[in-house]
């Protein structure tokens, strides 16, 4: 399929994990993909991986928590391709810490990336989309934005805010032809999750919490992004799509 032929897709946090899977999925369906990430070496590898297979992709070093860098990246992508049709607003961080031990700097870092960065990128891209008459924005939220989890107070707070940011964006931007939705993954096996949890913990977690009996893979999420960006989701707006193997059930 080439559902996104000649479409320009900006993917933040695209160097690895879910972000790379999202970029790969859109590229495979014909899109021009702008890969944005703070990790420059990994970003370069991701770009080579896609272009080496004949896909259209270019990397843009970006710290989403710095508004000036966001401005520059959006301008560079629009300058190169003429438009951003789809934003996969994915960049984020996570780590485990007891609530009473969270330092002020660690709290600020989580909010700066997961919430402020999400806002900066979405706002700048939305301004462009509004001027050109529409587009699609998909924010990466989490089941942790819908239900709490111990030792993730800063992460939970950031993702809960993304859920309501998404709904407010949908209310305000829909009339301008901009569809806005969020994806709320559960436990997905990524380099970030592997750095936090050992295999024994993961096995216990599956037994205790996930009815499907497995953790998710990045491809389980990238397919949802592709659906939400497609014409098949033309009437899906302001939604938070949960993909968690039945955990919240």
Average pLDDT of the segment spanning 146-161: 97
Q: How far apart are the first and last CA of the chain?
A: 33
pLDDT at 20 over 80: yes
pLDDT at 142 over 80: yes
Average pLDDT of the segment spanning 162-190: 97
Q: Is the C-alpha dihedral spanning 179, 227, 142, 132 positive or negative?
A: negative
Q: b/e per residue, 104-133, with b = 16+ CB within 10 A?
A: eeeeeebbbbbbbbbbbbbebbbebbbeee
Point out the residues that are catalytic: 155
CATH number belonging to the domain at 8-189+217-241, selected among 2.60.60.20, 3.40.50.720, 3.30.210.10, 3.30.1360.30: 3.40.50.720
> pTM of the predicted model, to two decimals?
0.96
pLDDT at 82 over 90: yes
Average pLDDT, the chain: 96
User: In percent, how much of the chain has pLDDT > 70?
Assistant: 100
Cβ contacts of 67 within 8 Å, gap of 6 or more: 120
Where in the chain are the domains? Answer: 8-189+217-241
pLDDT at 151 over 80: yes
Find residue 114's DSSP bridge partners.
Answer: none
Q: Taking the CA atoms of the chain, what radius of gyration do you get in angstroms?
A: 17
- Rounded to whole angstroms, the Cα distance separating 228 from 122 reads 16
Q: State residue 191's pLDDT score.
A: 82
> Which one, of 16, 15, 1, 21, lies nearest residue 217 by Cα?
21
pLDDT at 1 over 90: no
- Rounded to whole angstroms, the Cα distance separating 62 from 65 reads 9
> Which one, of 20, 48, 1, 248, lies nearest residue 149 by Cα?
248
Average pLDDT of the segment spanning 86-110: 97
Average pLDDT of the segment spanning 203-222: 94
Average pLDDT of the segment spanning 85-111: 97
**Residue 138 contacts residue 229 (beta carbons within 8 Å):** yes
Average pLDDT of the segment spanning 129-155: 97
Q: State residue 198's pLDDT score.
A: 82
- Give the angle subtended at the CA of 51 by the CAs of 49 and 53, to the nearest 5°: 75
């Amino acid at each position: 399929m080439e559902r996104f032929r000649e479409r320009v897709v900006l993917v933040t946090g695209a160097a690895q994990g879910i972000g790379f899977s999202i970029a790969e999925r859109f590229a495979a369906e014909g899109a021009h993909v702008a890969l944005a990430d703070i990790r420059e070496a990994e970003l370069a590898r991701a770009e080579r991986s896609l272009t080496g297979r004949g896909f259209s992709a270019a990397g843009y070093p970006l710290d989403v928590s710095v508004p000036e860098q966001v401005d520059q990246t959006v301008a560079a992508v629009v300058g190169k391709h003429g438009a951003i049709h789809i934003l996969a607003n994915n960049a984020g961080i996570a780590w485990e810490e007891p609530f009473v031990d969270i330092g002020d700097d660690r709290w600020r870092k989580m909010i700066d990336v997961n919430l402020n960065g999400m806002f900066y990128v979405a706002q700048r891209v939305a301004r462009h989309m509004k001027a050109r008459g529409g587009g699609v924005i998909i924010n990466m939220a989490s089941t942790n934005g819908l239900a709490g989890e111990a030792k993730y107070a800063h992460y939970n707070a950031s993702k809960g805010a993304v859920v309501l940011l998404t709904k407010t964006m949908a209310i305000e931007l829909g009339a301008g032809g901009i569809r806005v939705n969020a994806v709320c993954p559960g436990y997905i096996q990524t380099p970030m999750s592997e750095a936090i949890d050992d295999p024994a913990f993961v096995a216990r977690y599956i037994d205790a919490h996930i009815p499907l009996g497995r953790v998710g893979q990045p491809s389980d999420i990238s397919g949802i992004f592709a659906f939400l960006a497609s014409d098949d989701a033309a009437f899906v707006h302001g939604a938070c799509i949960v993909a968690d193997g039945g955990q919240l059930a």
